[in-house]
Amino acid sequence: MPETVFEVLSQAMRYFFALLGVMLVWRAMAWQLAERRTRHRRLQRLPDAGMIGEMVVVRGCDDVAEGTTFPMPYEGTLGSARGSDLTLPCRGVVRRHLDFSFQSRCGVLLYVSPGQTCVLDGVTLNARSKPRQHPMVHGSVLEIGGCELRLRLFEGLETGKKRLSAKKAERAPSVDETVRYVPPYAPPGEQTAAAKPVKRRQGHAASSKE
Amino acid sequence: MPLHPKSDRRPRPKLHPPHRERAQKRTREPGRLMSYLTMLFFFCAFTLLFLKDLAWQGFALALLVPALLALGINLLPRLFPADRLLLSLANFLCALGVLVLYATSPALAYRQAAYYGVGLVAMVLCIYMVRAVRSWRLPVLLLYPVSLGLLALPLVIGRETNGATNWIYLGGLSFQPSEMVKISLLIIISYAMTRRRMLLWLTFSVICLALLMLQKDLGTALLYYGVTLMLFYASSGNLALTGLGLAGGAGAAVMGYRMFAHVKRRVAVWLNPWADYNSAGYQIVQGLMALASGGLFGMGLGLGSPRSIPVYETDFIFAVICEQFGLVFGMSVLAMYVALIWRGATIAMQARRSFHGLLAMGATLMLGLQTFVIIGGVIKLIPLTGVTMPFVSSGGSSLLSSMCLIGLMQGVDSLNDDDLDEDARLAGLGRKH
């Protein structure tokens, strides 16, 4: 093609390319917003999304009454700081007392901060304790500061057997092996209540459908 | 049973044939128009370049690149757990790199297209790595010495290129280890910060920075330092220590300015490139002139004189884009990076596990900071440092590491989707799609 013709064509096309560039950006932003809306709508139907259950206060302190429930995320921190995922403003609880993380087919693993302690089902844990050997399962009782909290997991979540050894914890147990732990020292009246898993709530959109 | 068909007054349900329903679903899908626009853009651009010299390669690319884009944007998310928006943006930027390189030096464009294919494979591997690895302890223990060894290698067998000793030449192959170590840096830092092992990430970052300073690779050192500091803030929220780290970095920069002559010269060139426009300031001056001559709509694809800018194919490719396509298109490219970073940050915020959140945030920050550093350098906002423009600049190592970063983000995104599906299953709603 002659050079002059190409120049004219190329200079004419530059407006088209600029327009396409702007349109592409507009579509990308619109796409992002649309995805955001879709996800938001979906989350509205799942108010418990991102949670694995709740911690029920069995024995409280001045600021935390008995029977109070704290929603439990998959992972987070427990402490007296307001920014904690589980804020427990009790005496004996430091700002970041422990970190926890849920591992499917194992349970909630506790990573106690250096210098702090807590008691899980009668076993004292500190920063040196191996979290995989003492996983928190459904019905486990955690004593921290002056408080006592019981974990209630949502129905359908799989946790492993109580106190798996490190080797066993690496090999995930099969679904048949998974059990729901009932603490043996729980009062007889509470034993069944503690063993009963929590049902997930459904959002308004889902309930209106039903 | 009614005697007459008209006696049945119940409204009949409207039945659409399946193909019509599928067509309606297609038009509702937000990404479809974007993939059509992307294909149209590259088909027109490569056809225009084909008309310039009537070389068959141009025509082949005009057909191949849109076909590959269609494949990458529409087919890959069906085969692998990939986010279509991220994939569309990354594919557009990669194809733009091939286009601009083809317009300036075709040999580089063919090589870049080959690296792009390898990058797609690396991206898929990264997606599966994030999904498959449950415990990162062993990979981190392996990556730690391997990464440091790899980063130290240019000091032993490397060759100096453009003032920095950060390249390794083995046989006919050459690569930049610091690009590969970016991925392991993110994995190690995310793991150590999640497990609160300060010593692990601090020693790794400090050794990496020291090795990069010894290689005089200041741009990459700035990236490593910035991403580590921002990830520390994201994981701890400790403003005081982050401020202290920032102040330490500023202090080190001032010390570097006073101690090293080449840093002093670079800052002087940044402050006034016109004072020495024939030697030290030549590159920046040519870049600024390219930006100015492009104007709002550019000089036209295949026109102008981009080859007059030194290292136009890597560091100054943004100036070439602005010269040929104009400032409006250049701003659109910037907005695409913004969309990519926005998407990455959204993925990181939605992650359920802090390791995945930090990993996605780190990948996003790495891409964002790299884009800011190089474009800021080209437009004379900050002193110029030798980093590449992600996805667009010529170079296999850079493209590969950028695609791996996208792979990490996509892996985390697919895990987020799995978690949400699991929530829906547990709530008794079932899968949504």
Is the pLDDT assigned to residue A177 strictly greater than 60?
no
- Model pLDDT, residue B20: 55
Contact A24 B41 (CB under 8 A): yes
Is the pLDDT assigned to residue A108 strictly greater than 80?
yes
- Model pLDDT, residue B25: 54
- Chain A, window 72-91: residues with a beta carbon less than 8 angstroms from a chain B beta carbon: 73-75, 83
Is the pLDDT assigned to residue A119 strictly greater than 50?
yes
Mutate which of A4, A7, A14 to disrupt the B interface (most B C-beta within 10 Å)? A14
Mean pLDDT of chain B: 86
Contact A99 B196 (CB under 8 A): yes
Give the pairing type, strands A107-112 and A123-125.
unpaired
Rounded Cα gap, residues B233 and B236, in angstroms: 5
Lowest mean pLDDT among A19-28, B8-17, B42-51, B240-249: B8-17
Mean pLDDT of B159-177: 78
User: If we measure between CA atoms, which residue out of B44, B51, B58 comes closest to residue A18?
Assistant: B44
Length of chain A: 210
Dump pLDDT digits (tens) for B54-107. 888 888 888 888 888 888 888 888 888 888 899 999 999 999 999 999 998 888
Lowest mean pLDDT among B78-82, B361-365, B411-415: B78-82
Dump pLDDT digits (tens) for B312-326. 888 899 999 999 999
Is the pLDDT assigned to residue A27 strictly greater than 50?
yes
**Which of A41-50, A161-170, B20-29, B236-245 is most confident?**
B236-245
Question: Is B287:B310 a contact under the CB 8 Å cutoff?
Answer: no
Rounded Cα gap, residues A97 and A77, in angstroms: 8
To the nearest whole angstrom, how far is the Cα of B317 from the nearest Cα of chain A?
Answer: 17
Rounded Cα gap, residues B433 and B430, in angstroms: 9
* Residue B28 vs residues A36, A74, B21, B25, B33: alpha-carbon distances, Å: 15, 34, 11, 5, 10
Is the pLDDT assigned to residue B111 strictly greater than 80?
yes
Query: Who has greater pLDDT, B279 or A163?
Result: B279
- Model pLDDT, residue B261: 78
Is the pLDDT assigned to residue B133 strictly greater than 80?
yes
Is the pLDDT assigned to residue A165 strictly greater than 50?
no
- Model pLDDT, residue B1: 42
Contact A14 B326 (CB under 8 A): yes
DSSP A108-148: EEEEEPTT--EEETTEEE-TTS-GGGS-B-TT-EEEETTEE
pTM, entire model = 0.83
User: If we measure between CA atoms, which residue out of B84, B96, B86 comes closest to residue B42?
Assistant: B96
- Chain A, window 176-205: residues with a beta carbon less than 8 angstroms from a chain B beta carbon: 200-202
* Residue B417 vs residues A51, B131, B261, B431: alpha-carbon distances, Å: 15, 12, 51, 11
Contact A21 B325 (CB under 8 A): yes
User: Smallest Cβ distance to A30: which of B30, B299, B429?
Assistant: B30
- Chain A, window 93-112: residues with a beta carbon less than 8 angstroms from a chain B beta carbon: 99, 101, 111
Mean pLDDT of A6-13: 89
Three-class SS of residue B215? coil
Dump pLDDT digits (tens) for B292-319. 998 899 888 888 888 888 888 888 999 9
Dump pLDDT digits (tens) for A68-100. 888 888 888 899 888 888 888 888 889 889 889
Length of chain B: 433
The fraction of chain A above a pLDDT of 90, given in percent, is 12
Q: A194 pLDDT band (50/70/90 cuts)?
A: very low
Q: A199 pLDDT band (50/70/90 cuts)?
A: low
Rounded Cα gap, residues B343 and B337, in angstroms: 10
- Paired with A110 in beta bridges are A100
User: Smallest Cβ distance to B326: which of A18, A23, A46?
Assistant: A18
Q: A171 pLDDT band (50/70/90 cuts)?
A: very low
Dump pLDDT digits (tens) for B204-242. 999 999 998 888 888 889 999 999 999 999 988 788 999
Buried b (16+ CB within 10 A) or exposed e, B341-371: bbbbbbbbebbbbbbbbbbbbbbbbbbbbbb
User: If we measure between CA atoms, which residue out of A64, A154, A67, A57 comes closest to residue A102?
Assistant: A154
Rounded Cα gap, residues B281 and B301, in angstroms: 27
User: If we measure between CA atoms, which residue out of B354, B429, B82 comes closest to residue A44?
Assistant: B429
Rounded Cα gap, residues B262 and A190, in angstroms: 74
B79: exposed, middle or buried (C-beta count within 10 Å: 0-12, 13-18, 19+)? exposed
Contact B300 A200 (CB under 8 A): no
Contact B429 A34 (CB under 8 A): no
The fraction of chain B above a pLDDT of 70, given in percent, is 91
Dump pLDDT digits (tens) for B243-279. 999 999 899 888 888 887 778 888 888 888 888 888 8
B407: exposed, middle or buried (C-beta count within 10 Å: 0-12, 13-18, 19+)? buried
Question: Is B245:B194 a contact under the CB 8 Å cutoff?
Answer: no
- Chain A, window 37-76: residues with a beta carbon less than 8 angstroms from a chain B beta carbon: 39, 42-43, 45-46, 48-50, 73-75
Taking CA B123 as the corner, what is the angle to CA B121 and CA B129, rounded to the nearest 5 degrees? 105
Residues 6+ away with beta carbon under 8 Å from A7:
B300, B303
Contact A20 B37 (CB under 8 A): yes
Question: Is B131:B411 a contact under the CB 8 Å cutoff?
Answer: yes
Dump pLDDT digits (tens) for B327-342. 999 999 999 999 999 9
Residue B197 φ/ψ, nearest 5 degrees:
-105, 85
Helical H runs in B105-217?
Answer: 106-132, 137-157, 177-194, 198-214
- Model pLDDT, residue A68: 86
- Model pLDDT, residue A82: 83
Question: Is B301:A13 a contact under the CB 8 Å cutoff?
Answer: yes
To the nearest whole angstrom, how far is the Cα of B299 from the nearest Cα of chain A?
Answer: 7
For residue B300, how far is the Cα from the chain centroid? 26
Element (H, E) at B346: helix B327-350
Query: Which ipTM score applies to this complex?
Result: 0.85
Rounded Cα gap, residues B11 and B155, in angstroms: 80
Q: B433 pLDDT band (50/70/90 cuts)?
A: very low
Does A18 touch chain B if contact means CB atoms closer than 8 Å?
A: yes
Is the pLDDT assigned to residue B168 strictly greater than 90?
no
Closest alpha carbon within chain B to A111 = B195
- Model pLDDT, residue B21: 57
Q: A2 pLDDT band (50/70/90 cuts)?
A: confident
- Model pLDDT, residue A210: 33
Q: Give me the half-sphere count of Cα atoms (radius 13 Å) on the Cβ side of residue A96.
A: 12
What is the dihedral angle through the alpha carbons of B58, B62, B67, B73, rounded to the nearest 10 degrees?
Answer: 110
- Model pLDDT, residue B410: 94
Question: Is B314:B300 a contact under the CB 8 Å cutoff?
Answer: no
Residues 6+ away with beta carbon under 8 Å from B428:
A200, A202
Query: Who has greater pLDDT, A200 or B15?
Result: A200
Q: B53 pLDDT band (50/70/90 cuts)?
A: confident
Is the pLDDT assigned to residue A180 strictly greater than 70?
no
